[in-house]
Amino acid sequence: VAALRSLLPEEQIFYIGDTARVPYGGKSRETVERYSLEIGAVLAAGGAKLIVVACNTASALALPALSRTFDQPVCGVIQPGAEAAVAATRTGKIGILGTRATVASGAYEKAIRQLNPEVAIFSNPGPLLVPLIEEGLLDDPVTGEVITRYVEPLLGKGIDTLVLGCTHYPLLRKAIARVVGPDITLVDSASNCARFVKDILSSQGNAAAPSDCGGLRVALTDHVDHFLGVARQALDLPVDQIEVRQLQDL
């Protein structure tokens, strides 16, 4: 959302966060598909001209089901992240840090191999990072220790590029950079994904006029969200009113 607001300030964004059922990172494909289709239906009913799946787990597991179901273009974050990684690597060795579900899906491997079959890809799940981020421990020795455990096996493979394969992880960019050092390029999909969205809207003649006044509307499926305060502060993203939408009400 922060990258989209920055690149496309004239667009109206309706963001829905499934706070009643997060985290998705340890759930099965069936469940992530079901939840993603429910969320997609809320966005489609709200008149979305394009749907962004701003979650790596949902992108990795539910993109085909979403694309089949909705008439709108559906844009995930795996493909933009894969392109950024392939563009960044010099040694051809890319590491992927993601949720258990994203890593198990092999979605990054598939996307990267389609771009460049020569690249070697090494993946490791980082299941404690989302809880640590949600607690706001962005700059904490415990978080540093956990990051070290997750990235050391990847560093041992000689990677020169590390994909932050979960939309939470860029909040740990500084902490991860401290652990991996300056020679590893950290890649996330936010700005690449925003460029994808811009291109799709332009090519379909669907972009808002530059003079339009964009905005951000936020809905959550549960009104308790400790993380919202962390995200607001870390992303410097102004969010005014929050709606609560119980999905079964739809």
Does 106 help bind a second copy (rule: CB under 8 A)?
A: no
> Residue 145 burial (CB < 10 Å; 0-12/13-18/19+)?
exposed
Figure out which of the listed residues 6, 10, 28, 174 binds a second copy, where binding follows CB under 8 A: 28
The pair of three-digit structure tokens given for residue 224, joined into one six-digit string: 């308790």
Closest approach, Cβ 206 to a second copy, in A, equals 33
* Residue 247 to residue 250: CA distance in whole angstroms: 6
Inter-residue contact 150 to 129 (CB < 8 Å): yes
Cβ partners under 8 Å of residue 79, min gap 6:
111, 196
DSSP string across 6-34: HH-TTSEEEEEE-TTT---TTS-HHHHHH
Inter-residue contact 102 to 25 (CB < 8 Å): yes
Does 67 help bind a second copy (rule: CB under 8 A)?
A: no
Binding mask 83-102 for a second copy (x = CB under 8 A): -----------------xx-
Closest approach, Cβ 169 to a second copy, in A, equals 15
Q: How many residues contact a second copy, by CB under 8 A?
A: 28
**Catalytic residues, which ones?**
55, 166
Centre a 10 Å sphere on the Cβ of residue 77 and count the other Cβ atoms it contains.
27
Furthest-apart CA atoms within the chain: distance in Å? 51
The nearer residue to a second copy, 30 or 243, going by C-beta atoms, is 30
Does 41 help bind a second copy (rule: CB under 8 A)?
A: no
Figure out which of the listed residues 13, 21, 113, 178 binds a second copy, where binding follows CB under 8 A: 21
Total residue length of the chain: 250
Binding mask 209-228 for a second copy (x = CB under 8 A): ------------xxxx-x--
Does 142 help bind a second copy (rule: CB under 8 A)?
A: yes
Binding mask 119-138 for a second copy (x = CB under 8 A): --------xx--xx-xx---
Does 146 help bind a second copy (rule: CB under 8 A)?
A: yes
Footprint of a second copy (CB under 8 A): 19-21, 26-28, 30-31, 34, 100-101, 127-128, 131-132, 134-135, 141-142, 145-146, 221-224, 226, 246, 248
